[in-house]
Structures are given as C-alpha cells and as structure tokens.
C-alpha cells in the first residue's frame, strides 16, 4: 500500500510540474516514456538477483522532459487518529534526447546537488526483456568521474477506474 501512495503522490506532484513548464519538443522515445521507480539490487548467496524498490521516481515524458523526485512518508498525528502523509521532493529536472536504441542524453537543468546543474549525462540503457519492465542504466558521475549503474522499474497503474 505504501508503494501505491508513493507512486500516486509522485505522479500527482510531477504532473503539476510538467503542466507548468515550457519544454522544447525534441525527438523522444516511447520505450523510455513513463514513470520509473528506482530499484536496489540484492544478490543472494546463490547468485539470484532480486530488487528492493526505493521511493525515488523518475518521470520521462513525451515532450522531452524528465523529473526525479523522492517520496517520504511521515506520521501525522491529529486528535482523531494517527495518519501517514506522503511528501515528495523534486530532486532533479531537465530535458532528455534519445541518441540510439541504447543511449540517451540527460541535460540536467536543476539538481538538489548544485555541481550537477547545467551538465549533460550520457545514459547507456538496456531492458531485461521485451516487456521493458526493468531498465538498466549506466553513466559516468559528472563530479567524480566514476561509472554508476542504476536499475529502474516501470510503474504500472493497475485497477484504475475506466
């Protein structure tokens, strides 16, 4: 249930951001478009890989913009009962452009870590299978020069009213 709340809160928050931003239309790609959730790989003793999903979301839209936000659930006490509140924080915003079937560029405009602002990241990506549920991304950290690997899982909204 927490995952659903995070996803909904992130989607709503980023929906407001995308609606108010003027973004140049560039060549974008359907395989990347959508909402993605950051996954931390866990390797078992016998080598099997599973993932723990973190409350970090990336929205890649069809207009060439992307946004990354972090969700955090906190307890809110009131006179009637204890409730939980989801807060999302925009941590990164920029534009993207697809170079090929395995490379896209992120043009970072805003970032919660200022040295990354106004930089470009070359993102190498691949999918696990034809369903494109998990996206594996590697890039070089613009500050340290160290190669970074990330795994993102596509967020699917199920049970939505028609």
For the stretch 78-99, pLDDT in tens is 666 666 677 889 999 999 999 9
Map out the domains of the chain with their CATH numbers.
2-154 (2.40.128.490)
Residue of higher predicted confidence among 16 and 51: 51
Distance, CA of 118 to chain centre? 19
Q: What torsion, rounded to 10 degrees, do the Cα atoms 125, 31, 115, 111 define?
A: -150
Provide the whole-model pTM. Answer: 0.73
Handedness of CA 139, 44, 55, 31 (dihedral sign): positive
Can you tell me which residue has the tokens 């699917």?
A: 156
72: pLDDT confidence band, cut at 50, 70 and 90? Answer: confident
Would you call 19 exposed, middle or buried from its count of C-beta atoms within 10 A (0-12, 13-18, 19+)? exposed
What is the pLDDT, as a whole number, of residue 159? 62
Closest by CA to 110, choosing from 39, 33, 21, is 21
8 vs 67 pLDDT, higher one:
67
Q: Give 138's pLDDT tier (boundaries 50, 70, 90).
A: very high
Q: Does residue 106 register a pLDDT over 90?
A: yes
d(CA 91, CA 69): 5
Give residue 25's pLDDT.
36
pLDDT of residue 100: 94
């Amino acid at each position: 249930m927490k995952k659903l709340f995070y996803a909904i809160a992130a989607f709503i928050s980023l929906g407001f951001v995308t609606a108010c931003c003027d973004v140049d239309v560039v060549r974008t790609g359907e395989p990347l478009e959508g909402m993605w959730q950051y996954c931390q790989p866990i390797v078992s003793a016998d080598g099997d890989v599973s993932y723990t999903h973190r409350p970090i979301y990336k929205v890649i839209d069809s207009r060439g913009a992307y946004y990354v936000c972090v969700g955090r659930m906190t307890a809110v006490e009131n006179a009637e009962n204890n409730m939980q509140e989801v807060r999302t924080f925009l941590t990164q915003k920029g534009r993207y452009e697809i170079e090929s079937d395995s490379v896209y560029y992120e043009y970072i405009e805003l970032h919660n870590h200022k040295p990354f602002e106004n930089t470009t990241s070359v993102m190498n990506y691949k999918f696990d299978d034809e369903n494109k549920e998990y996206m594996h991304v590697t890039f070089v950290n613009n500050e340290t020069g160290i190669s970074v690997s990330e795994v993102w899982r596509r967020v699917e909204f199920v049970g939505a009213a028609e």
